[in-house]
Structure formats: structure tokens, C-alpha cells
Chain A
Amino acid sequence: MRTKQMLPALSTLLVCSSMMFAGTVSGKITYTGTPAKQKAIDMSKEPSCAKQHATPVLNETVVTGPNNALDNVVVYVSSGAPDDGQVPSQSITYTQKGCQYIPHVLAMHVDQEFEILNDDQTSHNIHPLPKVNIEWNKSQPPGTPPIKEKYDKAEFIPVKCNIHPWMHGWFVVLKTNHFDVSKDGGDFKLPDLPPGKYTITAWHEDYGTQTADVTITGSETKDVNFTFKAKAY
């Protein structure tokens, strides 16, 4: 009985102590060279989507920002921090709006539940293309309740819509809770890293993968920047 009462207290103590010495890895993702021009997407065949965009939507394979910033790069701890198996309980959503996937890249933990919403006045048929997880595709006419799904293996999964060929996105399923997706100028942040040696991996859907080793001692913030080589085509 006593032990049972002690357990929560002990775990709280452990969490607090690890938080006290929690380091952070943050940085910026940039590119060198000239990336391919973002092409405009013609949605004229789907007027209900086309009218949601005042200016043509640009293809999101390579999204850049000022000062050569690169967005939609998934940065995660690929080794050094064993997965604690804690599946985040908060719900994450993947929205089909204006015939686009928002966000373009959705990163999640293995077994984490996510919801797929259709905010459009047209039907979508979401079709992720996993190789190690189970493949499915689901139709979602306007007004359909959210589709709840999860993946039980780590994988980078391209997502397409079987009705609108231009729609494209990614599910990035990771076996770690230390991940971030660079956005708004290529920034990322991996907080709550206990002291230790880590390998940080940055993944971009077109430019590939890069890694960096980093050692955290105490509650410091380490700067790690990644630079990808842009492809002209």
C-alpha cells in the first residue's frame, strides 16, 4: 500500500529532476543554391476549392522563407534518447481545406491518434501510401465526421487524394517524442532533452536527410543548423 502511494511521488520527482536538467536543441533549416520555382496549382476543375484562394495556391514540395529558410523539414532525435513509449494524448488534426492538406507535413508518435477532417464542400478520398504500415484509403464527403486513425510502425508516408491529383502531403510517424517540423522561417526546437549524446536527423521530402551529433550537458540550449542543397528541378 505504501509503495503504491510512493510511486506517483517518486515518478513526479524523477520527471521534475529530469526537467531541471533539460536541455534544448534549436536551430534553423536553410538551403543553398536555387530551388525549383513553386508551381501554381490549377484547381479550376473544383470551383468550390478554387474560390477559397484569392491567389493561386503554390505547390508545397519545397516551401522557402526569407534568408534561404526551408520549411516543412522534420527534425527529430534519431538516436540517444530511447523512446519512453509515452504516446502523446493530445489530438492532432490533418485538415483537407481548399483542396490542400493542412499541415503539409504531419509528424506524430507511433500509435498516436490523429483526426482527418474535411472542411471542403466537395468529397475527398485520402490515400496514404505506407510500405510497412497497413494501407487504406477513405472517402470523406462534405460533412462527414472526422476519420480517426493511427499507425503502429515508424514510417515516412506520402499522402495523396484519389480525387484531386494535385493534393499531396506527408505523415511522418516517429518512435520518439522529440520532434519538430520547421516552419515560419525554418526554425525548429527540440526541448526537454536530458543530458546525453544525441543524433539529430533532419528530413526533407525532396532534399533528403541530414544528421548531426550533439551533446547536452545540463540545461543548456544548443544551436544546431542544417543546410540542404537545393535542386533546380
Chain B
Amino acid sequence: MGKFFAITIAIIAILSAIPIVMNYWGPPADISTHGPAIDEQMHDTMWEAGVSFLAAQLLLAFFVWQFTGRAKSDKVRNLPGGARGLVIAAFLFVGTEILALGVIGQKAWATVFFDPPGKNALTVQSQAGQFAFYFRYPGPDGKFGALHPDKIDEGNQNFFGLDPENDVDARDDIVTAELAIPINRQVNLLMHAKDVGHSFYVRELRIQQDYVPGLDLAIHFTATKTGQYEIVCTQLCGLGHYNMKAYLTVLSQEDFDKWLKDKAAQ
């Protein structure tokens, strides 16, 4: 019976590790400049985790096979010198592994979060609120109008709390429910939450960043492929969370200019 368990453990371990190590269910094709680094990091992590998992399970199967069917009177043998050394070694091994992954991966992370955006970056503000995303472009003057939370009036389409009556900068701001961006141009996305925590997740962009109430966050990225992609909220934010999404549309610079002009006219 013990040998049967050992074989079962080995088979389950191998069958589970194959799709992970071989990357059977990979993410959809990447459309960003920083994506390849993230994908590589992800692949390395999964490969390492897969191999470690397999090694641990096979070792378990070996012990089950080897020591099954022992008589109850058999003496239990301890590891020579006790388990302490082994625990410390395992601790150091796993710690080093995770630290190494972090160090290798920090570059991919930094390109999105820490390095300052380029001068030519297109700045777009995004606001997450129950249960929709809204985006704001500065308009022809290149300046965003100030935000006045007390002026938020969603029924009147004032999602950001702009004050066009008194604030000239706000008059030409373009507010949309869709994030359109030009291809091959860096986008500097300013993020804030209107109410509770939300998340900005675009699989194809390899970006997942939370909106945190009270924090102004910024991420930047460059899309390299035109098309329409889904932006979904991945932070449980309430009743309509399941329905909180928007679309990212990557356009040629020409189409983007036209789109922006159409939106300004609306």
C-alpha cells in the first residue's frame, strides 16, 4: 500500500509540474516594451518553483517507498547531528533563491514604477470609482484642471470634480471612459481612487497596479501593438466589482489624434 502511495505521489507531482515548467498555459501575447523582461522573470520563477516542487515531491515519494512496511518495533533513526543544520540550510537556500529572484526582477519593476517617465510621455489621469474607470486628457492647453472632490457630480458627467466655471485649465480637459493611447509612445498614467481600493490590470500590458484611496500613484509604459484590450478591476471593491472594466485601445498616432479630437467635440 505504501509503495502505491509513493507511485501516486510521483505521478501527481510529475503531471502537475509539466504544464508549469513547459509553460503550457502562458499569458496572452505581450504588447509592451517592458513585457519581455516580466515574462522572462515569470518564466524563471515558474521554472525554479516547478523544479523545487518536483524535487521535494519526488524525495517524499522516495521516503514513502523506502520506509514503508516497517515493523512497529523498528528503531526510529534520527538524522546524524539533529535537524537543526538541515533547517538552517533550507532557510538559507530558499531565502537566497527569493532574494535572487527579487534582485533579477527589480529592473523590470523599476521600468514601470521608479524610473521617471520620458519627456515625450503622454500624461493621462485615471480615476477608479465604484464601478467604472474614467480617464482624463489635458486637452490642447496641455494642463489638467484642478480637482475638487466636492464638485463630483456623476449624474452630470463630472466624474473628476472639475470646476470649468472658475478654472480655465479644466475647460478643455477631455474625460473618457476608454483609455486610448498612441502606439510606441510612452504613457505616464496618474492613478487615484475616488472611493475604495481598485486595481488597474491589463494582461497584455503586463501591468497590475492597485489604486489606493488617498495615494496618487504613477506608472508608465509603452504599448507596441495596436488593438483593443480589456482593463479590469482585480481588487474586490463592492457589489458591482464583477462588472468594473474599461477598454484600452492602442491606436496609431494619426488615429489617436483623430480620436482625441472626436472626444473633445463631444
Least CB distance, A87 to chain B, in whole angstroms? 28
Q: In the complex the two chains form, is B247's CB within 8 Å of A165's CB?
A: no
Contact flags B229-266 to A (C-beta < 8 A → 1, else 0): 00000000001100111110000000000000000001
Residues of A within 8 A of B (CB): 39-46, 56, 59, 61, 122-123, 125, 139, 158, 160, 162-169, 206, 231-233
The answer to whether A233 touches B165, judged by C-beta atoms less than 8 angstroms apart, is yes
A162 with B155, Cβ < 8 A, contacts A42-B178, A232-B165 known? no
Contact yes or no, A59 B240, CB < 8 A: no
Is there a chain A Cβ closer than 8 Å to B164's Cβ? yes
12 contacts between A and B (CB under 8 A): A39-B157, A44-B178, A45-B133, A45-B243, A59-B155, A61-B155, A61-B156, A122-B243, A162-B240, A165-B131, A165-B159, A206-B156
Q: Is the CB of B240 within 8 A of A40?
A: no
| Residue from A42, A56, A125, A168 within 8 A of B239 (CB atoms) | A125
Choose from A43, A139, A165, A231 the contact partner of B130 (Cβ within 8 Å): A165
Residues on B with beta carbons closer than 8 Å to the beta carbon of A165: 129-132, 154, 159
Q: Which residues of B contact A (CB under 8 A)?
A: 129-133, 154-157, 159, 164-165, 176-178, 239-240, 243-247, 266
A45 and B245 contact, Cβ closer than 8 Å, known pairs A59-B156, A125-B239, A166-B154: yes
B177 contacts A42, C-beta separation under 8 Å: yes
Majority-rule SS of A interface residues: loop
Pick the 7 closest A-B CB pairs, nearest first.
Answer: A168-B155, A42-B177, A163-B240, A233-B165, A40-B266, A165-B154, A39-B157
Find out whether the CB atom of A158 lies under 8 angstroms from the CB atom of B155.
yes
Q: Please pick, from A42, A45, A168, A232, the residue contacting B154 in the complex, using a CB distance under 8 A.
A: A168
**Would B157 and A59 count as touching, CB distance under 8 A?**
yes
A39 cross-chain contacts in B, Cβ below 8 A: 157, 266
A142 to B243, CA, bound (A): 14
- Further pairs besides A125-B240, A139-B239, A163-B239: 13, Cβ < 8 Å: A39-B157, A46-B243, A59-B155, A125-B239, A162-B131, A162-B240, A163-B131, A164-B132, A165-B130, A165-B131, A166-B132, A166-B154, A168-B156
Q: Which residues of B contact A162 (CB under 8 A)?
A: 130-131, 239-240
Shortest CB–CB separation between residue A171 and chain B, in angstroms? 13
Query: Chain A CB within 10 Å — which of B155, B177, B240, B244 has the most?
Result: B155
A59 to B129, CA, bound (A): 19
* Residue numbers in B under 8 Å from A125 (CB-CB): 239-240
* Residues on the B chain within 8 Å of A158, using CB: 155
Q: Do A166 and B130 touch across chains, with their CB atoms under 8 A apart?
A: no
Check A163–B157 contact: CB distance below 8 A: no
Query: Contact between A166 and B155 (Cβ–Cβ < 8 Å)?
Result: yes
In the assembled complex, which residues on chain A have CB atoms less than 8 Å from the CB atom of B165? 231-233
Report the Cα distance A62→B239, complex, angstroms: 30
Instruction: List A contacts of B176 (CB < 8 A).
Output: 42
Q: CA separation between A49 and B154, bound complex, in Å?
A: 18
B178 CB contacts on chain A under 8 angstroms: 42, 44
Smallest distance from the beta carbon of B246 to chain A beta carbons, Å?
Answer: 6
Smallest CB–CB gap between B157 and chain A, Å?
4
Q: Which residues of B contact A166 (CB under 8 A)?
A: 132, 154-155, 157
A168 to B177, CA, bound (A): 17
Report the minimum CB–CB distance from A43 to chain B (whole Å).
8
- Measured in the bound complex, the distance between the Cα atoms of B155 and A233 in whole Å is 14
